[in-house]
Amino acid sequence: MGKRIDGKEIALGIKEEIKAFVNDRKLKGLSTPKVASILVGNDGGSIFYLNNQEKVAISLGMEFEKVHLNEEVAEEELINKIDALNNDKSVSGIILQLPLPKHINEKKIISSISPKKDIDCLTFVNQGKLYMGEETFMPCTPKSVVTILNSLNINLEGMDVVVIGRSNIVGKPAGALLLKENCTVTMCHSKTKNLREVCKRSDILVVAIGKAKFIDDSFVKEGAIVIDVGTKKNIIRCLLNRGCNVTVYPCDFDADEVIASKPDGIMITNGPGDPAECVDIIAQVKKLADSGIPVFAICLGHQLMALAHDAKTYKMKYGHRGANHPVKNLETGKVYISSQNHGYVVDADGIDASVAKPWFVNVNDGTIEGLEYIGKPVKTVQFHPEANAGPKDSEMLFDEFMKMIGGNK
């Protein structure tokens, strides 16, 4: 198993630098940096990120203005709001949450942001400066890629880098910043031929395609560095749509810290790889299971929970891939069409009947698709209820989790 880069530690160091910068300005009687973030509409994932931006800004001693507009807002009204922020001397920077509703001309709105306050580097002026190698605001996600690589204390000059994804927000600017580091950059996308072979030649692989588990070890040569800048919003969105306040913890979480925050419920989400290798995480999952707090786990989370209770997992010959896998609820007899993407499965023969009982099974091959734990408010599924695969999709399992949380109050 390769070495994991500790992005959390890098982020903490940067936050401390920002805190010191803000405090120094305050001590000198200078203005406090203020960020205004604009969201149009009620997308659950975007609301989560907007609230998280506010939380981080305040923790750093900054000021934050949340601008939340109705989804039907007119272009003119949105531009007028941006103009007001452009002219507000107390506002240091403006963030525009994308995408915008279809009736709004995104390029026109972006162009209305002052380049002096465009901290996401979205305007044509700032993007032009970026690609010309001039000083400008750096787009945060591409900048974080370079920051992570520089933290490794390696000489990036001449290294072969492959960037998968050509979006204007991540892929293209990431390539530009890595070129500035004198890397040899290859940009790949959906039309790239022999993508696996191209990736296999790279020293550094940056994955920015927004598609989970697209890359596996067959794309990566021995010793290469892989940076995945993608994230899945569906689980967060499903919880937000049900009125939850969501706090996201990293994969190297401390169970005691999570429990001390006194949540109503805990969701353990999906991830890649062999679950049996996650020894430290399995120990933390066991603490969560024993806390008495309702826990729901999906995919890798399901496997880790089983391992935390002394069950076994094994690698399947082909795995389950795609959005057409029938799973049967053993309590109700109902069958749901599920979305799945896993190569490992919980061994049914290793489940202690006094610890857990099968909840769902795969109709095709009989493998375990869900477990319900005896004497604990813990339920897990192997498939993805957040993926909405079929006509009777299994997103209702989030409602099941809401019932579990309600029973804990």
Q: Is the pLDDT of residue 391 over 70?
A: no
pLDDT average, residue stretch 151-177: 93
At 16-41, the pLDDT tens digits run: 999 999 999 999 999 999 999 999 98
Average pLDDT for the chain: 90
pLDDT of residue 45: 65
Q: What is the 3-class SS of the chain, one letter each residue? A: CCCCCCHHHHHHHHHHHHHHHHHHHHHCCCCCCEEEEEEECCCHHHHHHHHHHHHHHHHCCCEEEEEEECCCCCHHHHHHHHHHHHHCCCCCEEEECCCCCCCCCHHHHHHCCCCCCECCCCCHHHHHHHHCCCCCCCCHHHHHHHHHHHHCCCCCCCCEEEEECCCCCCHHHHHHHHHHCCCEEEEECCCCCCHHHHHHCCCEEEECCCCCCCCCHHHCCCCCEEEECCCCCHHHHHHHCCCCCCCCCCCCCCHHHHHHCCCCCEEECCCCCCHHHCHHHHHHHHHHHCCCCCEEEECHHHHHHHHHCCCCEEEEEEEEEEEEEEEEECCCCCEEEEEEEEEEEECHHHCCCCCEEEEEEECCCCCEEEEEECCCCEEEECCCHHHCCCCCCCCHHHHHHHHHHHCCC
pLDDT band at residue 345, thresholds of 50, 70 and 90?
Answer: very high
Same fold, 10-120 and 234-402: yes
Domain spanning 10-120, CATH architecture? 3-Layer(aba) Sandwich (3.40)
CATH of region 141-228:
3.40.50.720
CATH class of 234-402: alpha beta
Domain ranges of the chain: 10-120, 141-228, 234-402
pLDDT band at residue 230, thresholds of 50, 70 and 90?
Answer: low
